[in-house]
Structure 1
Amino acid sequence: MSDTPRETPLEPVHRSLGATMTDFAGWRMPLRYGSERAEHQAVRGSVGLFDLTHMGEITVTGPAAGALLDHALVGHLSALRPGRARYTMICDEDGGILDDLIVYRLAGEEFMIVANAANAQVVLDALTARQGGFDAAVRDDREAYALLAVQRPASPAVLARLTDADLAGLRYYAGLPGTVAGRRVLIARTGYTGEDGFELFCSPEDAEPLWRALTEAGREDGLVPCGLSCRDTLRLEAGMPLYGQELTRATTPFDAGLGRVVRFDKPGDFVGRAALRAVAEREGSPGGGPRRVLTGLVAEGRRVPRTGYAVVDAEGRPIGEVTSGAPSPTLGRPIAMAYVDAAHATPGTPGVAVDIRGSREPHEVVALPFYKRHT
């Protein structure tokens, strides 16, 4: 297999815009086009346009497609109505997270799973391995789609100039087939920025004309092309976990504070059920809560807490570790997500600091998320 990163259909556009490119999960992707802060603020204040073609699409079809997903994933996907989407996870037998996913029910017996780029093959292999005994087919559709995202606040106005689809009636975590700028797409009201917005699944050959049409339609609203760098600060402000940082094979959904996605009440067994049930029962028993809690930290100074930095108490004893950290353009201060010992994870806990290159920098413990969009 070649080590050369794959290019999205929008590579010529990114080059023409002077994007700084980076190798990410086997893809050559735009990191930024200019100022990361300006791109971040455009998504918070006007509208941003992303190329997300690196994400991995997998289609599951057949009479038992829903039953297969109920068995393979932790959620109750057979209960999902056509046209709706759900956030869920795929775990191993020990309850460790293989990936977090969004599943769309496109039709009665057709589901599309969107996996993180770095884990798409892992998810595909796991679904294929768990397919036995189910009247369902698992198909790798990564070559079939390009993915663009238009993220809020002006995204509905921009998209409305290019489609007659019922955007007002499209609920959050729902999708419908439609035509945008004359191109057939799946319009999904989903995103990874903490804002309302849309993700557009299209054929690769339609990606460039669709990008150019969106750029022109968004000109009066100040639409800005956005790279992966600001996507990371946007999701961090919104308290959204990232696989490989907040989520790993060594963490369960309960460790990450996302036990709600695990549905023990669905029919039949599912991979990881016994291990996850044990975790849930342990957390629900007296004195049996989680040892460490994913929480938010806001720096009192200007130094930035980075992934892997130790979180310490007033005496300098380690009590946790930063999983993601960056300057927050919205808050104007550095922020971080960290797994912290439960005894120190309550918002307002005094004496918490991050060891930044030998210096204990005071941080305020806060509840996640750092930012909630205005509705």
Structure 2
Amino acid sequence: MTRITAADVLLSVQDLQVHFPRPGAGWGRPAEVVKAVDGVSFEIRRGSTLAVVGESGSGKTTTALAVMRLSPLTAGHVRLGDTDLGALNGEALRFARRRMQIIFQDPFSSLNPRERAGATVRAPLDLMNVGTPAERSARVDELFEAVGLRPEQQHLFPHQFSGGQRQRINIARALATHPELVVCDEPVSALDIAIRAQILNLLVRLQRQLGLTYLFISHDMAVVEHICDEIAVMYLGQIVERAPRRAFFARPLHPYSVALMSAVPTVDGGRRRAAQRIKLSGDPPSPINPPAGCRFAGRCPVAEPACVAELPPLREVAPGHWVRCRRVDVVDGVPTVPLQMPAA
């Protein structure tokens, strides 16, 4: 695997923390702190896609919002190329937003029901004062064609579109300012299965044509396998495994990753795989008071007493393959798998 150089990296996130204070539980008690994201680091190469996956409450969407500066940063660094996004405020941050845009999960609530589709796509150009009025109109025409919508549909309101068409409008709006980074926050989870494939194929095509870089948030492993170059698995605010797509889907290493993969249905053996799914007991610990050791230890089928004593580091056990698990050893250059995937 070719090592990533600094020039190859568009987005660099180092030790990101996003903590939300809550009022104290009672008189005289200290305020509680929800550690939604607690020490996350990753890099994304230009023109590639990093998928961040995990169950609800793992912190993946909060990570995406923090990267976009739509959520406050408690600590850590977020760099877009040579720009330190965490240090920007006011007009400087507003100008930097031309380089990064987001596609939200819900294609229904993320559009203004009283605004025509063409005006919605044009809005970022007007707000950021990009180009002349004539150039903005031409850009809207170009974007509608790029996402597969007809020019006359610019005059329609959101309720006159299907769910897939609304998400195409959201994609066009995100691309209006020629961004380098596009954050995709579960962009197909609210769509029908057939429409999901169309939107995913559109995102892949646009990435190839425009050289886009994606941070793709999802809980659907099948979707992720279709679109990502690398994958990061999050659990309770931390990354527990990060790897290239082929290496991960061929052989996940962390027990939590194996449990996630065991839940993915297969075309030829879906029923049998569902019966052999690795079922985790209990619930994730509270992000207000996470355990001192491995945060997955309380639900892990192969945990040892030492797992709860100390938090394992995220270490590289194979080229580009990082895992946060003390049970993963490297024998003759090959990492071991403490929890085996059930046979299909």
Higher normalized helix content (fraction of residues): 2
**TM superposition score category, shorter chain reference:** under 0.3
Higher normalized strand content (fraction of residues): 1
TM-score by length of 2: 0.28
